Amino acid sequence: MRFTGKTIIVTGAGSGIGAAAAQRFDAEGGHVVLVGRTASKLDAVAKGLKDAEPWPMDAGVSDDWYKLADHLHSAGRHADVVVNNAFVLEKLPAHELTEASWDRQIAVDLSAVYYSVRAFMPDLIAAKGNIVNVASVHGIISWKLHPAYAASKGGMLALTRQLAIEYGDNVRVNSVVPGPIVTPIWDEVTQDELDLTATETALGRMGTPEEVAAAIAFLASDDASFITGAQLVVDGGQTVKART
């Protein structure tokens, strides 16, 4: 029960890693704020939890973060942990990607971290809390058709280190770096493609959202009290194998 009495904000909480992280924090006693753009998905996740509230919003819009902060404060709550997990992805080569798509992916996948800091850093400083950013192996190694996503995830890793330095006296800031994880984004991929992706890892399989959620919860807990500015790679050895 590492998060008893604490309020944890999880973006992208309607499915995949975000939903698994919300379940993990709830199981360990936290009050979880489920953030996402689709209210029905958030409601479905919330129904399976003991102490959670859905909050539909767009993580890529700064004003939505301030509205969430106002809501929590009016309810007598403050943020102890912020998990930046929301993302969007459009797969195209850079010269075919529209400016609107580029801007949207950067807003949700990277700028949302900045927005969360603007809205909740006073809370986190007061609580001696922490931020966990969910990055990606795309920020470390590269595949075709991911220009904006790779740029944003690489930027997230750099921003994580910078924030750790900026707020080191009061707030820990870390990132997890998932590799191939079985989430809804893979639903339209063929079994042959899934099998091929599994062979790219040292463990020979894809990971589960729950395995990433365990890493997120660890970094957010006092068990990681001397860890900040880190990037915890949860990829089954994919990045290691890619470099051999």
Q: Could you give the residue numbers annotated as active site?
A: 149
Q: Which residues pair with 173 in a beta bridge?
A: 131
Spell out the alpha helix ranges (H) of the chain.
Answer: 16-27, 39-47, 62-74, 99-106, 112-127, 147-166, 191-199, 209-220, 238-242
- By CB neighbour count within 10 A (0-12 exposed, 13-18 middle, 19+ buried), where does 189 fall? exposed
How far is residue 105's CA from residue 93's CA, in Å, rounded to a whole number?
14
The tokens describing 107, both together, are 């807003």
Furthest CA-CA distance within the chain = 53
**Are 19 and 13 a contacting pair, CB within 8 Å?**
yes
